Structure 1
Amino acid sequence: MFEMSLRALLLPAVLSLAAQPPPAPGPGWVLLFNGKDLSGWKTVGKERWVVENGTIFGEAITKGDGFLKTEKTYKDFHIFLRYRCEADTNSGLFYHTDVTEDISQIRFIQVEIDNRINSHTGGLHGDRVPGQPGGGWIVWPAPDKAGVMRPWDWNDMLVMVEGNRTRVYLNGVRMIDFTYPNPRNTDGVIALQLHSGGGGKMRFKDIFLRDLTRGPGR
């Protein structure tokens, strides 16, 4: 199975080369984060985003939303990353977005990340719900998958976006496989989020992307 082979290829490299950027898991995959600086990324908002020990560390220092977004836009893609929540944090991976500081005005789809059990990590949230400024839930994972997420520890996330279909895998388990019938947005940047409210702390590393629209290096 493709998703499982990706995980099998990547994790041994991560464990053995923790101080170095891991090798690409296969043809067409490229690193989005070089482990040294935030080249290729831009901050949105006033929250703190820095590189520490080969990881991206995000810390909420105000009550507003904060984002770290890619400079490039993406349409169809697969993305793999590892994340760890270091507080009772609500975060997420945004895609097909034009992310700005005012979350009530942006278009987005978000893969939910939350450090609390039964908070729908791996589900989709977004602006595709009429009459709900700032977004609403699109789909939740099944209740029996609530224990897949590892609080306070590293988690492996694979998101596969192809047309209007999104599949999310967490720690090797498929959380959702959802096809939206009439997507409003099919292109945009990818962004890491720190949710409003303050106190959030997140780490991300080993971020790989496979661009299905343009191919590698474009």
Structure 2
Amino acid sequence: MTRFLLMGAVLAVMAFTMPTKKVVLFNGKDLTGWKIYGTEKWYVENGELICESGPDKQYGYLATEQFYKNFDLSVQFKQEANGNSGVFFRSTVEGTKISGWQVEVAPKDHDTGGIYESYGRGWLEQIPAEKETILKPGEWNTLRIRVEGDHVQTFLNGKAMVDRHDEKIGAANGSIALQIHDGGGIKVRWRKLVLKEL
């Protein structure tokens, strides 16, 4: 009995100390590991991933082929023109209809770092006015999203934005997906998409 208890304790320590797996989602060269949904533009330029409105001016998504349930994701973005976009997590896409949760990436005073549930409850967390100054328009910004179980945290340029527990999110699984909002005139640059699986 003592031996089994000791083995259990050793396994628990090993599980606790095992390094997290780091996944580079964007290789800086092409869209390997991603799938395009819709007719909007997704392309690579100078090592950066660019999303841009196409002639249809509709919603567009670029989603990982792999599902990621528990993770800590860091991504840099720079908005050009209208930067209305977002990063979805635990999402699934059919055509241009997405199910899941979006961490907003938008122009100043439009809740970058907040959480929106598409085709569901709408805004779960919007950003208070005093945090709208954290976004740096026209510059590179760092967005961090940590999701573990039902716990979601978002950070913009190192500042905490959202800290929420949500039962519905906790039950879900799916892809990481970048969004182009409808309406046209949107362009956002992305780089350094690195995910640590938890």
**By the TM > 0.5 criterion, same fold?**
yes
Structure 1 residue 27: Cα displacement: 5.5
Give identity over the alignment, percent: 39
1:98 — aligned with what? 92
Structure 1 residue 50: Cα displacement: 0.6
Give the secondary-structure state (helix, strand or coil) at the position aligned to 1:167.
Answer: strand
Preserved contact between residue 21 and residue 196 of structure 2 (Cα < 8 Å): yes
**Bigger Rg, which one:** 2
Q: Distance in 2 between matches of 1:46 and 1:79?
A: 26
Please give the TM-score of this superposition, normalised by the length of structure 1: 0.78
2:115 — aligned with what? 124
Equivalent of residue 176 in structure 2, options 174, 190, 205: 190
Show structure 1 runs of 4+ deviating over 2 A.
100-103, 181-185
Code of the residue aligned with 1:57 in structure 2: it is: I
2:104 — aligned with what? 112
1:178 — aligned with what? 164
Give the secondary-structure state (helix, strand or coil) at the position aligned to 1:73.
Answer: coil
Structure 1 residue 28: Cα displacement: 2.6
Q: Distance in 2 between matches of 1:90 and 1:182?
A: 25
Give the secondary-structure state (helix, strand or coil) at the position aligned to 2:142.
Answer: strand
Q: Distance in 1 between matches of 2:127 and 2:112?
A: 8
Aligned pair in 2 of structure 1 residues 59, 134: CA closer, same or farther (>3 Å)? farther
Please give the TM-score of this superposition, normalised by the length of structure 2: 0.85
Structure 2, unmatched stretches of 5+, are 1-18
Give the secondary-structure state (helix, strand or coil) at the position aligned to 2:81.
Answer: coil
Q: Distance in 2 between matches of 1:49 and 1:182?
A: 30
Residues 107-142 of structure 1 show CA distances to partners (whole Å, capped at 9, x for unaligned) of: 210000002x21111000014xxxxx4651011123
Structure 1 residue 166: Cα displacement: 0.6
Equivalent of residue 59 in structure 2, options 53, 60, 65: 65
Q: Distance in 1 between matches of 2:96 and 2:30?
A: 26
**Structure having the larger proportion of residues in strand:** 2
Residues 66-120 of structure 1 show CA distances to partners (whole Å, capped at 9, x for unaligned) of: 11110101111111010011112210001111123333xx3210000002x2111
Equivalent of residue 185 in structure 2, options 195, 199, 210: 199
1:159 — aligned with what? 145
Preserved contact between residue 63 and residue 178 of structure 2 (Cα < 8 Å): yes
Residues 124-166 of structure 1 show CA distances to partners (whole Å, capped at 9, x for unaligned) of: 0014xxxxx4651011123210100011110001100011111
Code of the residue aligned with 1:73 in structure 2: it is: F
Preserved contact between residue 164 and residue 186 of structure 1 (Cα < 8 Å): no
Equivalent of residue 83 in structure 1, options 39, 54, 77: 77
The two structures, once aligned, show a CA RMSD in angstroms of 1.6
